[in-house]
Amino acid sequence: MSGAAVGAQPEVASSQAKIIDGNAIAKEIRTSLSKSIEELHAQAPTFHPPHLVILQLGSSPASTTYIRMKLKAAEESGMTVQHIKVDSDEESGEPKGTGVKKVLELVRHANADEKVSGILVQLPLEGAGKAEEKSVVDSVSVSKDVDGFHPENIGLLTSRISEPYFTPCTPAGVIKLIESTGFDLAGSNAVVLGRSDIVGTPVCALLRKKDATVTQCHSRTKNLEDIVKSADVVIAAIGQAEFVRGEWLKPGAIVIDVGTNYIPDASKKSGQRLVGDVHYESASKVASYITPVPGGVGPMTVAMLMHNTFEAAKRTWSTRRERKLVPLPLKMLDKVPSDIEIAVAQEPKLVATVAEEMGVQADELESYGRFKAKIELSVLDRLKDKLDGKYIVVAGITPTPLGEGKSTTTIGLAQALGAHLQKNAIACVRQPSQGPTFGVKGGAAGGGYSQVIPMTEFNLHLTGDIHAVTAANNLLAAAIDARMFHESTQKDKALFDRLCPKKKGKRSFAKPMLARLKRLGIDKVDPEQLTEEEQSRFARLDIDPATITWNRVLDVNDRYLRAITVGQAPTEKGFTRQTAFDIAVASEVMAVLALSKDVADMRARLGRMVVASSKAGEPITAEDIGCAGAMAVLMKDAIKPTLMQTLEGTPVFVHAGPFANIAHGNSSIIADRIALKLAGIEKGDDASRSGYVITEAGFGADIGMEKFCNIKTRVSGLRPNAVVLVATIRALKMHGGGPAVTPGKPLDAVYTEEHLDLLEKGCANLGKHIENAKKFGLKVVVAINRFAHDTVPEMELVQKYALSVGADYAVPANHWARGGEGAVELAEAVIKACEDESQFKFLYDLNLPLVQKMEIIAKEMYGADGVSLSPEAQAEVERYERQGYGGLPICMAKTALSLSDDPSRKGVPTGFTLPIRNVRLSAGASFVYPLVGDMSTMPGLTTRPGFYDIDLNPETGDIEGLF
């Protein structure tokens, strides 16, 4: 294309105008786009080719032709396209408006899909009115409106102080065609014929942005020929065939013909030919440059659509990579107020904002009020191609009964990483039981300036997960007793008839019954085909009451439910049974929730739970009882993690709360998996952009961390990068021989004054936990959780000791008093610890015998000389191995207050053998748990429980006294 002289005046026409070849220019644009896409992907592998979605309503031949052109252009430009055609109401026979509704729903999905760069709604929408077309066009996200028709884009087009997301394609193509001549629009006179929202009006806006003097003409414009005669540039977009004549034009004018009109032509096979709004033959003798029809503006419209799609993809990619978190500022006081005072003083973000900042889409969020929400598991499918973020487990030394601040450290570390070091950081914590909340320990939201908020909602009902666990657990308990009652009062035939009643003269098996038949080796699906012997085997579970391990549960501390008798009403005909209640979080259903990888896995695990043995010694499962499916229904919402936030606005997942003694004491695998994907990076991205997931393990590292490594990670397949071991001066002094620490009693002066000798002796306990962590191949970061009375020499002593015995890093942390700011040094150490690839390994091989696995844990983790099983425990081990459960991991149920079985033995006890009183099976959770000593699964209330201080302010509705 030869260029015109640059300036306000076009060159005077020679005998024939030069053709502005839209096809050639469009091809150059497509080639350039393809090259740019390849180059950007080579420089940044996480940038993927732009993806355009084209939506069509109906089967208009013209629309189909246009779409075919766009599909071809996208391919040549190096992009991907999805063409979705929706039948018109006439084609489908559905009620009027159905097609438009379907298109609106497709737009909504495409708006939310981050893989979609741009959305094009092909107009006209067949069978739709103008108002319906407008509603569809307006529904396209302005950031994906590559056609440029969204009202916001059109509005911004006329602004002098801002730019639209996208310029409408045809007007943008018009400007490109003019500029291809080399003509300078600044100061020129431009006349636009037409005032449509699609071409005329936006072209005027673009010309004005180029400093042209613009006259817009329309059907009522007077002296039209005279106005056109004065124009240096004429853009015709009026939809009237060959309307503009050559004699109207100023010699040397540039003519851009946007029109597409068909006129009769007997020489053509179709009987018609395509012409523009300009009489080409006469105009080309006067103009200096002119666009042909076809081959002028049309190809440029499609080319600019591809250009807009590329710009959309770049913008989306850039936006996705930008850090979005806006931290909440903390107003910290030197004298730290109570936890609840701090919590209620902070105004949380809306949970929808927290979700958006961390990359959760609107349709993946199920709000429970303003500040908490469930996360849909579909997020895992969307993010399946992302690499996981860094995975850190927070554990602790052997604690005092007061706790050493693992939850506080978990939250403080997340605040430091997210709000202060601008890292993508997500904390994953367990949901607290209401037992401790109303008992002695209080809530588990962290403390001081490192808390989950709103802490009142966190510590109470939250989103009802524990209630769902309670309902599912107790449904099974009721089903067990009911089944035993009915079997004891009915003969085999009557029992079978009631289990498989005739409906309309035909019997059928319920879904769980088919699973039981399969387990029994009965390969039949028709109840009428079972023999009497098969009917009896199927219908009669024959549960041995002495072997029932399934208790009812309640989420409060209640010592009087530790042993109860059920069946005392006359209606139970004297069939009584001794049983008990556990606290809800001790239920195997809670452990199943925490260890499930998805809904299907949870359903299977619930069915596998063994509740008793038959009198013949066969395991009886929840599937045998027949209510595993109903339990899954009760748990269908509980399986979704709950999203909350810290005091500084960083995200927190709260999910599951299994006991840390008879269960594994960790938050859910699902929450960790979702968090790791949200914190992760795409393949090929810079590793320094990876985020961090901080998950807490209950009790000391000998219990919570060991179970995290040997149980949770075996199921999840996830590999932790580092462990943060929380230590306190108070606990280390206790392990060095300090006086007993008792809840509710004042601390001895030794804990509030400097005592270096005592502290140094107690450091051995920390050393043992460091040694334990190293056995799993983990990098160890010791967090010395600072309390108000701790001195600098004491902190330095612990720091020096930890490093001398193998810790990779040891840093003081003051997050309780200073929030994330007080844990920045800890966060920096964690970042360094996670730089290398994980060297994680398991402590034992699952194929070893159960007793040998117990011995490895006892010797390696606790320092015991070995294990000693009672006759009852030995018998249970033999039974479980005989039943096929010998390959399960071990979940030791022992005191958290000592490395040994004796809570009074502090420091690093030696010369002891670990007594195994009994062994229990959690087949659904997939572990065997040996009972070391007496393990209470129903706590009791003390003389002075915490509920004395908790009340509701009747005037404000605020909760008071929660801690």
Helix (H, G, I), strand (E, B) or coil at 41: helix
Neighbours of 514 (CB within 10 A): 15
Question: Rounded distance, CA 458 to CA 455, Å?
Answer: 5
Question: Rounded distance, CA 626 to CA 480, Å?
Answer: 10
Are 291 and 255 in contact by the 8 Å Cβ rule? The answer is: yes
Instruction: State the pairing for strand pair 564-566/577-579.
Output: antiparallel
Question: Rounded distance, CA 377 to CA 365, Å?
Answer: 10
User: Of residues 18, 27, 35, 70, which has the active-site annotation?
Assistant: 70
Question: Rounded distance, CA 581 to CA 601, Å?
Answer: 27
Question: Rounded distance, CA 82 to CA 115, Å?
Answer: 12
For 394, the token pair is 């927070």
Neighbours of 414 (CB within 10 A): 34
| Residue whose token pair is 């032709």 | 65
Question: Rounded distance, CA 918 to CA 876, Å?
Answer: 7
Q: What is the separation, in whole angstroms, between the first and last Cα of the chain?
A: 77
Q: Which amino acid is at 634?
A: L
Question: Rounded distance, CA 758 to CA 746, Å?
Answer: 19
Q: Is 894 an annotated catalytic residue?
A: no
Cβ within 8 Å of residue 369, ≥6 positions away? 351, 457
Question: Rounded distance, CA 175 to CA 73, Å?
Answer: 20
Question: Rounded distance, CA 99 to CA 90, Å?
Answer: 9
Nearest Cα to Cα of residue 662 among 594, 743, 608, 613? 594
Question: Rounded distance, CA 710 to CA 152, Å?
Answer: 55
Contacts 24+ apart (CB under 8 A), 206-210: 206/157, 206/167, 206/171, 206/172, 206/174, 206/175, 207/175, 207/233, 210/175, 210/185, 210/186
Helix (H, G, I), strand (E, B) or coil at 178: helix
**Cα atoms found within 13 Å of the Cα of residue 638, Cβ hemisphere only:** 30
Helix (H, G, I), strand (E, B) or coil at 394: strand
Question: Rounded distance, CA 175 to CA 300, Å?
Answer: 10
Are 727 and 397 in contact by the 8 Å Cβ rule? The answer is: yes
Nearest Cα to Cα of residue 55 among 35, 70, 72? 70
Count of residues in the chain: 963
Catalytic residues: 70
